[in-house]
């Protein structure tokens, strides 16, 4: 039984890692700009479809995936920067609801835009050679690709941590999360910071989309399910906190995976049960500061 | 705009929009020739089912083109009016009502999702317009929510689950289940278990997995299923979910050890391509590669010529709905509802899946369920089903007593 | 970077523009016109008008939160959907007719809003938006998953009595319920309670400072808004002859925000105008466009970018300009 729980926890961990990559971008955007970015799921979906196209164009499963890994996140980050610079900036001083609805409108436009460009069929992306098999852990097969996801997730977490603590850009972001009003007074170019953060966040969503593409299917509608879970993750972790997002994502992944062993019928509600439990104990999120 | 232009032409669309904008009782349709026989199709062109719906519309369009090329019906042309219900039952009602009361359609073809199907059927009941369902297959439609203007060409969820139990039942002792956590899936498992108890009384279910619809990552469900080591896995996953599941379950060797039986659509075969493992038992509603006779193969060619794609199950059933209406309208020599219902009830229709009648009791078309094993296809670029078994409708549909019982319970 | 509440449109701007008497005449005329509508309109448009009335109540109930109290809820559809399910469940389990079920709906929806609001009002701004969104999705999940009770994703059929089935009768029924509800909401916005909500929106810190029990007021607004959304939902179920889970889905929660913003959130009538635009646009787009989401999204973008005060705001601003010029 212990083995089973361990293997479940491991698969939950790999599930949590994709969620973390996507949610980390969302939490940075929210923390810095105070925008609940609904379009975040659209960035994820867009990257998944780009991965499909790049992989198909290249032809080879390994090189195709690597090419997508290099191309899709920057493209999506560029789209994000354009949206921030062309649209969000124009309404930056307006009340929150305008930004919220604007990002919601973008989800609609992207959803139909993807349908226009790629059609409505669902697609698959092959896993790179060497990552399509399974390794044996505790006498159970465990997909190599998922093991890779766990590694990549840890690497990205470390990378983001370094970015936020060691670079000027990162330190500015952290300052903005801590106190948004102070930032302008310190002589930081807030406009440029916001565009940069939004692009970074979109790029992370894109990275998540590339990593997720070979896992399941690439289809219309994957934006909607990831965005709600990502929101849950950042509420649980504490808004603006990347490590909080990591803990939140892993928590959701592992609770979900172990939970279905014991109460399978509640599987669809696990996210929200975890959310409510955290809110009851710490309304500001696990690593969030009191507001 | 493509769909609508086909029926109207651009100018008529503009006129209709202006008419609608005036918000007056002026009928946009008044400008159009009154002599067309109109088929109304409210369906879910937007949303996760878009790919299926596209196929349905294609099949219906092709059917109408052919009817018109052969001179139409009763000397009149047939026109198609398509509306997008976006998987939203409220939009489904709004558009179906509008099609009936403003556009004056003569007959309806049903949508994609069961939820929208229920509301479309309710509107058809209210206005006494015939509706043929080609995709939604909740057994509630022909059973407790039945009304005389409802017809269906889809094997109901009850029939499909029973057919699956007939074929998969004898394949082992230990059964496992995976299906999306929604009503049809829970019902499907219930019906499967009931029939399994007759087919193989010693069999038992050792584990069940209920991922949410649209689940991206099945890993934790698969580890759970794999460690239970079942002989047979009954899957009620379909579409993008099934594709994700199959891809993720492959590294576990689940398909080597366990006999897997699942719902399957052509879209899934196409999406997985050569990644589809061999030897999975797939249940399809209308696989184009297993249709009997020349009519079907000629249809496949025409479909490919027109849409540069293979006809999905939904395209075939949509096409068949047009053929059934065409046959019934010829028999009745009328498009008037009562006469048409009578003709649909009495007629035998030569459809792609074979000769089909609607049962008097519940207007369920006596269509079979197709179950076969995945294998390489020699003519198509993706896997197909081999050793296809047609489980006949009369073996799996509910008995008269069952239907009446369900209606009484309501 | 805390966003400031939008100052240009004072809530009183609309009322100052017209005398009480003119307003009474206009509103009275509109009401009479609405009652005469079924004798002029075709059946299809009548159904569309019912749709509009329901959405108008939904939007106005929401605007009690956004426009009046400055609370950006993104889970309002939950209470709307619960209203629909109240009617459907009472009808299916206890054979209660829909018009009686309608009376129960504000209490059920309001009670659940009380439970959610108790948590949600502890936070403000975007955080409040996300919390209400999360709770809304939780309720959606419960309705989806509890198929024995709710019929799951296929929904729960509702059969209105025969006399309510014809478009004209149901229209008159919905019109009456909507008008009564709107009148009640209008009274609430004008009451001392409404004024307090305004004060909270204008300056939450100050409201706390002067000793207003801000959280209790916010909770009150949340419950009242939820209850009236419940009534709107309760009228929806018989119209579709079904209650279904997408009524509670988060994308449905975007609709009242859209309607309120499109119409204008600082006037009582704004969301009603927004509802008319929304229902009609949605119908036209899903009828005539192959890419309805794209078209709709672009329209929303344009409204957000170029009509900050909504249509009602733009009309009032134009009216003010005219008056100034006339003087």
A270: chain C residues, CB-CB within 8 Å: none
**What is the nearest CA distance from A115 to chain B, expressed in angstroms?**
9
Q: Which tens digit of pLDDT belongs to each residue from B118-154?
A: 999 999 999 999 999 999 999 999 999 999 999 999 9
Q: Which residues contact B255 (CB under 8 A, 6 or more apart)?
A: B246, B249, B277, B279, B280
Mean of the pLDDT values across residues B262-275? Answer: 93
* Distance (Å, whole) CA A138 – CA C301: 53
Identify the residue with better confidence: C147 or B211: B211
Looking at the complex, does the CB of residue B274 fall below 8 Å from at least one CB of chain A? Answer: no
Q: In which element (H, E) is residue B332 found?
A: helix B313-332
Residue range(s) defining the domain that contains residue C166: 16-326
Min distance C281 CA to chain B CA atoms (Å):
10
CATH 1.10.10.10 is the classification of domain B33-155+292-357: no
> With an 8 Å Cβ cutoff, are B224 and A261 in contact?
yes
pLDDT tens-digit readout, B359-398: 999 999 999 999 999 999 888 999 999 999 999 999 999 9
Q: Chain A: residue nearest B186 by CA?
A: A265
- The one-digit pLDDT tens for each residue of chain C (327 residues) are 344 444 444 444 444 557 888 889 999 999 999 999 999 988 989 999 999 999 999 999 999 999 999 999 999 999 999 999 999 999 999 999 999 999 999 999 999 999 999 988 988 888 899 889 989 998 998 898 888 888 888 889 899 999 998 899 999 999 999 999 999 999 999 999 999 999 999 888 888 888 888 999 999 999 999 999 999 999 999 999 999 999 999 999 999 999 999 999 989 999 999 999 999 999 999 888 889 999 999 999 999 999 888 888 888 888 888 888 887
Counting the structural domains of chain C, the total is: 1
pLDDT of residue B34: 52
Query: What's the pLDDT tens digit per position in B100-123?
Result: 999 999 999 999 999 999 999 999
C162 touches chain B (CB under 8 A): no
pLDDT of residue B10: 41
Q: Say yes or no to pLDDT of B94 above 60.
A: yes
Distances (CA, A) of B408 to B92, B144, B401: 28, 8, 10
**Distance from CA of residue B61 to its chain's centroid?**
16
CATH number assigned to the domain comprising residue C109: 1.10.3470
Supply the DSSP symbol for B132. E
- DSSP 3-state assignment of C37? helix
Distance, in Å, from the CA atom of B134 to the CA atom of B138, rounded to the nearest integer, reads 12
| Cβ–Cβ < 8 Å for B166, B395 | yes
Are B219 and B188 contacting, i.e. CB atoms less than 8 angstroms apart?
Answer: no
Extract the tokens encoding C284.
């036209």
A115 and B47 Cβ atoms separated by less than 8 Å: no
Q: Does CATH place domain B158-284+369-409 in 3.40.50.2300?
A: yes
User: Can you give the pLDDT at residue B23?
Assistant: 39
User: Which of B5-9, B31-35, C55-59 is least confident?
Assistant: B5-9
Mean per-residue pLDDT of chain B: 89
- Angstrom distance (rounded) from CA B78 to CA B61: 10
Q: What is the predicted ipTM?
A: 0.91
Residue C130 lies in a domain: yes
- Contacts of residue A152, defined as CB under 8 A and 6 or more positions apart, other chains included, come to A17, A211
| Sequence-ordered list of residues with C-beta below 8 angstroms from that of C118, at least 6 positions apart, any chain | C219
Q: Which residues pair with C232 in a beta bridge?
A: none
Which residue bears the tokens 């076969």? B372
**pLDDT score, position B85:** 93
- The residues spanned by each domain of chain A are 2-221
pLDDT grade for B410, boundaries at 50, 70 and 90: low
pLDDT tops 60 at residue B293: yes
Q: What is the pLDDT of residue C81?
A: 97
What pLDDT score was predicted for residue A290? 57
CB atoms within 10 A of CB B374: 24
For B61-80, what is the mean pLDDT?
95
- With 0-12 CB in 10 A as exposed, 13-18 as middle and 19+ as buried, what is B23? middle
d(CA B141, CA B118): 7
DSSP letter for C157, please: E
pLDDT over threshold 60, residue B13: no
Residues of chain A neighbouring C257 (CB-CB closer than 8 A) = 97, 100-101, 104
Cβ neighbours for C63, distance < 8 A, ≥ 6 positions apart: C256, C260, C265, C268, C270, C271
- What pLDDT does B35 receive? 80
Which pLDDT does position C16 carry in this prediction? 52
Residue B291 has pLDDT above 90, yes or no: no
Contact C125, C66 (CB under 8 A): no
Sign of CA dihedral B228, B233, B237, B240: positive
Using 50 as the pLDDT threshold, list the residues of chain A that sit under it. Answer: none
**Rounded distance between C-alpha atoms, residue A194 and residue B246, angstroms:** 41
CA dist C251 and C133 (Å) reads 10
Residue pLDDT, tens place only, B316-327: 999 999 999 999
User: Which residues in chain A have their CB less than 8 angstroms from residue B220's CB?
Assistant: 8, 11-12, 15, 256-257, 260
Q: Percentage of residues in chain B with pLDDT exceeding 90?
A: 76
Q: Report chain C residues whose CB lies below 8 A from the CB of A30.
A: 126
């Amino acid at each position: 039984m212990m083995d089973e729980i361990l293997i479940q926890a491991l698969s939950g961990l790999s599930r949590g890692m994709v969620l973390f990559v996507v949610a980390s971008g969302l939490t940075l955007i929210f923390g810095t700009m105070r925008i609940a970015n609904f379009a975040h799921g659209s960035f994820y979906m867009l990257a998944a479809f780009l991965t499909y196209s790049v992989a198909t164009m290249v032809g080879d499963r390994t090189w195709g995936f690597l090419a997508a890994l290099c191309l899709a996140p920057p493209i999506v980050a560029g789209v994000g920067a354009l949206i921030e610079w062309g649209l969000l900036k124009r309404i930056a001083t307006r009340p929150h609801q305008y930004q919220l609805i604007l990002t919601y409108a973008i989800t609609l436009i992207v959803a139909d835009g993807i349908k226009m460009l790629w059609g409505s069929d669902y697609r698959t992306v092959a896993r790179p050679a060497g990552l399509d098999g399974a390794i044996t852990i505790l006498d159970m097969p465990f997909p190599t690709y998922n093991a890779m996801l766990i590694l990549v997730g840890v690497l990205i977490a470390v990378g983001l941590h370094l970015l936020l603590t060691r670079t000027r850009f990162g330190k500015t972001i952290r300052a903005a999360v801590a106190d948004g009003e102070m930032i302008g007074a310190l002589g930081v170019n807030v406009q440029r910071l916001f565009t940069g953060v939004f692009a970074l966040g979109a790029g992370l969503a894109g990275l998540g989309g590339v990593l997720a593409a070979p896992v399941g299917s690439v289809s219309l509608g994957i934006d909607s399910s990831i965005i709600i879970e990502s929101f849950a993750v950042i509420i649980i972790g504490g808004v603006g906190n990347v490590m909080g997002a990591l803990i939140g994502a892993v928590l959701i992944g592992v609770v979900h995976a172990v939970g279905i062993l014991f109460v399978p019928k509640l599987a669809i509600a696990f996210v929200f049960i975890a959310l409510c439990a955290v809110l009851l104990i710490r309304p500001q999120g696990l690593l969030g500061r009191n507001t | 705009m493509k769909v609508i232009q086909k029926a109207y032409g651009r100018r008529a669309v503009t006129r209709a929009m202006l008419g609608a904008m005036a918000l007056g009782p002026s009928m946009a349709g008044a400008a159009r020739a009154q002599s067309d026989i109109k088929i109304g199709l409210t369906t879910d062109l937007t949303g996760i089912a878009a790919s299926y719906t596209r196929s349905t519309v294609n099949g219906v369009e092709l059917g109408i083109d052919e009817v018109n090329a052969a001179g139409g019906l009763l000397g009149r042309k047939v026109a198609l009016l398509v509306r997008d219900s976006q998987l939203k039952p409220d939009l489904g009602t709004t558009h179906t009502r509008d099609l009936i009361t403003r556009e004056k359609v003569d007959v309806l073809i049903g949508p994609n999702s069961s939820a929208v199907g229920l509301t479309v059927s309710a509107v058809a009941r209210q206005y006494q317009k015939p509706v043929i369902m080609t995709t939604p297959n909740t057994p509630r439609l022909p059973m407790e929510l039945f009304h005389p203007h409802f017809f269906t060409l889809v094997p109901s969820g009850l029939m499909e689950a029973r057919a699956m139990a007939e074929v998969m039942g004898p394949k082992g002792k230990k059964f496992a289940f995976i299906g999306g956590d929604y009503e049809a899936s829970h019902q499907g498992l219930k019906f499967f278990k009931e029939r399994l108890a007759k087919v193989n009384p010693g069999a038992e279910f050792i584990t069940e997995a209920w991922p949410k619809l649209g689940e991206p990552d099945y890993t934790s469900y698969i580890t759970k299923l794999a460690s239970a080591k079942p002989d047979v896995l009954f899957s009620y996953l379909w579409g993008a979910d099934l594709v994700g599941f199959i891809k993720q379950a492959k590294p576990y060797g689940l398909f080597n050890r366990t006999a897997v039986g699942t719902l399957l659509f052509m879209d899934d075969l196409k999406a997985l391509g050569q990644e589809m493992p061999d030897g999975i038992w797939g249940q399809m509603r209308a696989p184009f590669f297993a249709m009997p006779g020349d009519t079907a193969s000629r249809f496949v060619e025409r479909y490919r010529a027109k849409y540069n794609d293979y006809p999905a199950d939904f395209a075939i059933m949509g096409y068949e709905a047009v053929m059934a209406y065409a046959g019934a309208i010829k028999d009745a020599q009328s498009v008037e509802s009562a006469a048409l219902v009578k003709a649909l009830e009495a007629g035998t229709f030569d459809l792609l899946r074979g000769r089909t009648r609607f049962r008097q009791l519940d207007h369920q078309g006596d269509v079979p369920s197709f179950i076969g094993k995945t294998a390489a296809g020699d003519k198509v670029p993706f896997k197909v089903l081999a050793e296809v078994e047609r489980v006949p409708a009369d073996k799996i549909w509910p008995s008269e007593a069952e239907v009446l019982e369900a209606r009484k319970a309501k | 970077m805390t966003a400031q509440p939008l100052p240009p449109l004072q809530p009183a701007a609309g009322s100052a523009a017209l005398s009480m008497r003119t307003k009474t005449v206009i509103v009275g005329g509109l009401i009479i016109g609405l009652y005469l509508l079924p004798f002029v309109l075709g059946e299809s448009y009548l159904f569309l008008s019912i749709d509009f009335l329901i959405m108008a109540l939904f939007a106005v109930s929401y605007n009690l939160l956004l426009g009046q109290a400055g609370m950006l809820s993104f889970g309002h559809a939950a209470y709307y959907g619960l209203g629909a399910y109240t009617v459907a469940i009472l009808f299916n389990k206890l054979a209660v007719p829909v018009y009686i079920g309608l009376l129960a709906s504000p209490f059920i929806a309001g009670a659940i809003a009380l439970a959610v609001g108790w948590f949600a009002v502890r936070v403000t701004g975007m955080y409040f938006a996300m919390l209400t969104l999360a709770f809304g999705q939780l309720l959606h999940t419960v309705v989806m998953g509890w198929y024995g009770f709710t019929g799951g994703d296929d929904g729960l059929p509702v059969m209105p009595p025969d006399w309510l089935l014809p478009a004209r009768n149901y229209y008159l029924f919905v019109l009456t319920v909507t008008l009564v509800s709107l009148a009640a909401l209008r009274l609430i916005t004008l009451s001392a309670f409404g004024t307090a909500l305004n004060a909270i929106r204008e300056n939450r810190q100050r409201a706390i400072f002067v000793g207003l029990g801000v959280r209790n007021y916010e909770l009150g607004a949340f419950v009242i808004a939820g209850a009236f959304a419940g009534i709107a939902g309760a009228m929806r179920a018989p119209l579709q002859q079904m209650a279904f889970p997408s009524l509670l889905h988060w994308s449905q929660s975007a609709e009242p925000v859209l309607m309120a913003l499109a119409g204008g959130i600082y006037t009582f009538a704004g969301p009603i105008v927004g509802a008319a635009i929304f229902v009609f646009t949605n119908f036209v787009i899903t009828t005539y466009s192959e890419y309805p989401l794209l078209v709709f999204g672009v329209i929303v973008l344009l409204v957000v970018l170029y009509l900050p005060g909504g249509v009602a705001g733009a009309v009032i601003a134009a009216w003010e300009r005219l008056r100034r010029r006339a003087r």
